[in-house]
Chains A and B, each alone.
Chain A
């Protein structure tokens, strides 16, 4: 019985880890690689969203809307930004994957987690 539980636990851990790895890979392939290539710091984008939307839920929603339908009015960047950079293309991933990627992004750059008391 104990062995069965142990095997199931390991199986669950591997599956979960696998899912995380897939999400992170998708996030890296879909978002980070492109940002790095175009030299647009992701942390800067995060700070701009944070300044405007305050909460993760609102930020996620705003990002999702923009990525699904990239337009100037949905973008967090100012208009002059688009004089230099072209409007990004619509992300061709399913909603669930996109949301997971956004959450990973928000978690990666979460400034609230960096706060400490001396």
Chain B
């Protein structure tokens, strides 16, 4: 799956699952509140029944002539009686319970009036601890439902998302196929042109290359580089990397020679400052793609007679130009494939994408600093 495809799918899933989750959470919460009230009402009803039972026992006690009157007690139920002035008379609470029950919680309370006033009691307060088992069962059921619904909608969302991104995927695949076919067809003629230029240089009687030959060489090398970039992108995942200790100083010097004709053609003032002792553990082709793309961009987008400054140190590799620069709003997206901040020059917009891929593969850090109409500096730091 392509990066952009993954991102689109991820965004879709976030919105889809997020909204579904909020909707289900609200519905579940309302259901929970309603069901909990229903369960508590059921328990309150049983409390009312017990209260009526205690009332009838109080009536019997009132009629009794016994010296000691045993106050009715029930398992799980606590009760107390109060006179007409709401003064506590007697009860089974640990301490004298006030009739003001608003301040208590975790228990169910029920107050009922007693008439006539058996034993002088005008009010009966009954209480029991809330039976939490059915409420916990309800919570568990809702949690399982949310879990099941979450799983179902995640799977559904994944397939829906894939359906939505399918057209984008098709378009990307078509483009990739086109590039694949094109590169395949370009390989032979480019190789032929470059080989023949070398042969002309070798067997030519003139020391200086003609201007026309130089142009052919530049154009062929540009084509060759594009071919290499496209092949790199297509084969990136299948390509077996041969990690070696590579002297980056020598490599940068070699590539500067390779690009010298292009730089000359644009009359650039080139300065190369390389440390010859920079050794990296890297695949040679990866290193070439990294260096080539940065130098190539700096030449391509530089102004005529501009400055190209290439610096290699033990800490970083930087390429600075005095070209058209990149708008600050484009800096965030410039690393994306097929993204071109300026269409004044040719290209596919894959250069910085390749650079970014190499940087990410080796854990380097890429920094792009640019000012529009002033120039751009790209730095690759070897260590984080």
Q: Which interface class (under 10, 10 to 19, 20 to 34, 35 or more) fits B?
A: 20 to 34
A115 contacts across to B, CB distance below 8 A: 61, 69, 71, 89-90, 119
Cβ of A6 within 8 Å of any chain B Cβ, yes or no, is no
Q: How far is the CA of A47 from the CA of B71 in the complex (A)?
A: 17
Shortest distance in angstroms between A109's beta carbon and chain B's nearest beta carbon? Answer: 11
Smallest CB gap from A110: residue in B:
B120
Q: How far is the CA of A12 from the CA of B134 in the complex (A)?
A: 65
**Is the CB–CB distance between B117 and A111 below 8 Å?**
no
Cβ of A55 within 8 Å of any chain B Cβ, yes or no, is yes
B68 contacts across to A, CB distance below 8 A: 114, 116
B residues contacting A by CB (< 8 A) are 61-63, 65-71, 73, 83-85, 87, 89-90, 92, 116-122
**Is the CB–CB distance between B83 and A117 below 8 Å?**
no
A residues contacting B by CB (< 8 A) are 43, 47, 50-55, 57-58, 111-112, 114-118
For the complex of A and B, 10 pairs with smallest distance between CB atoms: A54-B84, A54-B117, A51-B116, A115-B90, A114-B69, A55-B83, A54-B83, A54-B120, A50-B120, A54-B122
Of the listed residues A50, A52, A111, A114, the one surrounded by the most CB atoms of chain B closer than 10 A to its CB is A114
Q: How far is the CA of A118 from the CA of B73 in the complex (A)?
A: 8
What are 22 sample pairs from A and B whose C-beta atoms fall under 8 A apart?
Answer: A43-B65, A50-B62, A50-B117, A51-B62, A51-B117, A52-B116, A53-B120, A54-B84, A54-B117, A54-B120, A55-B83, A55-B84, A55-B87, A55-B120, A58-B84, A111-B62, A111-B120, A112-B119, A114-B69, A115-B69, A115-B71, A116-B69
Q: How far is the CA of A116 from the CA of B89 in the complex (A)?
A: 11
Main secondary structure of the interface of A (DSSP, over half): helix
Shortest distance in angstroms between B303's beta carbon and chain A's nearest beta carbon? Answer: 102
Q: How far is the CA of A112 from the CA of B81 in the complex (A)?
A: 10
Contacts A112-B89, A112-B90, A115-B90; A47 near B62 (Cβ below 8 A): yes
A43 contacts across to B, CB distance below 8 A: 65
**Is the CB–CB distance between B84 and A53 below 8 Å?**
yes
**Is the CB–CB distance between B70 and A116 below 8 Å?**
yes
Could you say which of B67, B73, B83, B118 contacts A114, with CB atoms under 8 Å apart?
Answer: B67
Could you say which of B71, B87, B120 contacts A116, with CB atoms under 8 Å apart?
Answer: B71
